[in-house]
Amino acid sequence: MPMPFPEDLVRISAKVDNALNSRLANIDAPEKVVRAMRHAALSGGKRLRPFLVIQCAGLFDVSSDLAMPVALALECLHTYSLIHDDLPAMDDDDLRRGQPTVHVEFDEATAILAGDGLQALAFEIITEAEQHYSASICCRLVHDLAHSAGVSGMVGGQILDLAFEKSVPDLSDIERMQAMKTGSLFRYACTCGVTIGGGSAEDRGRLENFANAFGLAFQITDDLLDEEASKEEMGKRTGKDSARGKATFVAHLGIEGARGAAQSRVEDALAALQSYGGEADNLRHLCSYLLTRRV
């Protein structure tokens, strides 16, 4: 019997925090860069991607312990991308999750290197010897993660996002950019359980559809929060995207239009889960949560 949401998100988030904390305590490396990695990785993220990994893997009877290394690897990759995106040469943000960003708390060189180190750590964690998935599953997990994180995925999306500051993208450009920048890791999070648990090609297709719809709904609500919430609520500067004239869903659709688009993407996401039973309820709850979230 699954616990009611959001208790399950909180519980998994705490488990991920503990596991990340232990892993990052267990690194033989210069102290400063490890402190910078810990600063970024242990500053109270929602752990949405690990939650998706564990819940989607659960659809294929994969235990959360078995899925955990993949969840941690993904969170390391996500954290590195935040550190690099916040750099002065990129989005130049000084606040993240209510804390100074890494280049502000430390310095730019340390921020670049802490990000580089977290990317390498992701691939180290996912291949650590005590894993119980098979070696061939492990290779596939590494390969897909690398592809999702690279220039055809997350990194490529960030390049497009930066280019948009100098051009006028239309709505489909923004969707394509987000499908790479944030969508790639969401798709990985939702489908790695198919790889581990041996789901079918149809399962992979359904969960890709779920991830695509969920990812866009997430991004639209993120744009809405950037517009509407205060800095105190969000723990980062808000209103910055529109002040910069940055191309967001809200800029294109207006606030009401964006709310409608988020609602409609959430319906798509729920439809993609149709063939699953009660074991997908936490994923369904997560979708509803998107529409009411304040952080």
DSSP H or E stretch at residue 291: helix 281-292
Give the total of residues touching a second copy (CB under 8 A).
54
| Nearer CB in complex with a second copy: 185/258 | 185
Q: Which of 149, 179, 253, 258 binds a second copy (CB under 8 A)?
A: 149
Please count the other Cβ atoms lying within 10 Å of the Cβ belonging to residue 43. Answer: 17
Q: Which of 48, 72, 138, 280 binds a second copy (CB under 8 A)?
A: 138
Tell me the three state secondary structure of residue 134: coil
Taking the complex as a whole, how short is the minimal distance between the CB of residue 125 and a second copy, in angstroms? 8
Q: Binding to a second copy by residue 160, rule CB under 8 A?
A: yes
Q: Binding to a second copy by residue 115, rule CB under 8 A?
A: yes
State residue 116 phi and psi, 5-degree precision.
-60, -45
Tell me the three state secondary structure of residue 10: helix
Judged on CB neighbours under 10 Å (0-12, 13-18, 19+), 27 is middle
Taking the complex as a whole, how short is the minimal distance between the CB of residue 100 and a second copy, in angstroms? 17
Q: Binding to a second copy by residue 189, rule CB under 8 A?
A: no
State residue 29 phi and psi, 5-degree precision.
-160, 165
Taking the complex as a whole, how short is the minimal distance between the CB of residue 68 and a second copy, in angstroms? 17
Q: Let me know: does 45 contact 97? Beta carbons within 8 Å.
A: yes
Report the distance separating Cα 57 and Cα 55, nearest Å. 5
Considering only 159-167, 185-193, 208-216, 225-233, which stretch makes contact with a second copy by CB under 8 A?
Answer: 159-167
Q: Let me know: does 193 contact 67? Beta carbons within 8 Å.
A: yes
Q: Binding to a second copy by residue 200, rule CB under 8 A?
A: no
Report the distance separating Cα 230 and Cα 245, nearest Å. 18
String marking each residue 48-87 x if it binds a second copy according to CB under 8 A: --------------------------------x---x--x
Q: Binding to a second copy by residue 193, rule CB under 8 A?
A: no
Tell me the three state secondary structure of residue 95: strand
Q: Binding to a second copy by residue 33, rule CB under 8 A?
A: yes
Please give the residue ranges that form the binding site for a second copy (CB under 8 A): 27-30, 32-34, 37, 80, 84, 87, 89-90, 107-110, 112-117, 119-124, 127-129, 134-136, 138-140, 142-143, 145-147, 149-152, 155-156, 158-160, 162-163
